A and B are shown apart, each in its own frame.
Chain A
Amino acid sequence: AQKVTQAQTEISVVEKEDVTLDCVYETRDTTYYLFWYKQPPSGELVFLIRRNSFDEQNEISGRYSWNFQKSTSSFNFTITASQVVDSAVYFCALSEAWNTDKLIFGTGTRLQVFP
């Protein structure tokens, strides 16, 4: 069965701290895709990254970085030098190659960054 677990319900940090959001997934498929989305208070989910299961290279985009580890079925997201504008709910999601339309979401991690 497919499942995405985001064990951290809520995280609070002070500006400029680094923060890591955890994501653990379950799938029987060998080809799958992992995603991170950001949902600010306005409600819209903003696409951040997609990673396919054959690409384990870590990725960095500005203050954002992602660590994909197939051995532990994890796809963690780190924000370096957090800012107040990073405050949002962050969702990790999974889709499998045989059914790419279906995004399976975790329950999300609410990040609050205080000035």
Chain B
Amino acid sequence: ETGVTQTPRHLVMGMTNKKSLKCEQHLGHNAMYWYKQSAKKPLELMFVYSLEERVENNSVPSRFSPECPNSSHLFLHLHTLQPEDSALYLCASSQEIKSSYNEQFFGPGTRLTVL
């Protein structure tokens, strides 16, 4: 595998379900990110992790719970979501934070539908 991978690619869940999104980067990067992409809105940064430590939480509701067990893996745990949470969730990684080497490389995303 190369680059940034995400699973599942598609997910349909009810409002009472609990599910998790997984992201894995094979680039040797130290920083990982979760973004939400809704129709007709700019990409919204949700969380930033650097060396497994959360460095940014962009006022995201607690029904979204990130986890970063190591610098290659990032999870987004979902519970009691709302229909307006339906979106494309994108994971990204970069070499490090607070650096001029800040290109972010994105995975293909998980298309989430909440019924």
Contact = CB atoms under 8 A, between A and B. Distances in A.
B45 interface: yes
A1 B64 CA distance: 27
Given A101-B56, A102-B56, A44 B97 contact: no
B94 interface: yes
Interface residues of B, number: 28
Given A44-B106, A101-B33, A33 B100 contact: yes
Given A101-B55, A106-B42, A47 B104 contact: yes
Nearest to B5: A44
B59 interface: no
Could you tell me the dominant secondary structure of chain A's interface residues?
strand
Taking residues whose C-beta sits less than 8 angstroms from the other chain, chain A's interface range is: 20 to 34
A107 to B, nearest CB: 5
Given A101-B94, A105-B43, A44 B108 contact: yes
Interface of A: 4, 33, 35, 37, 42-47, 50, 52, 91, 95, 97, 100-108
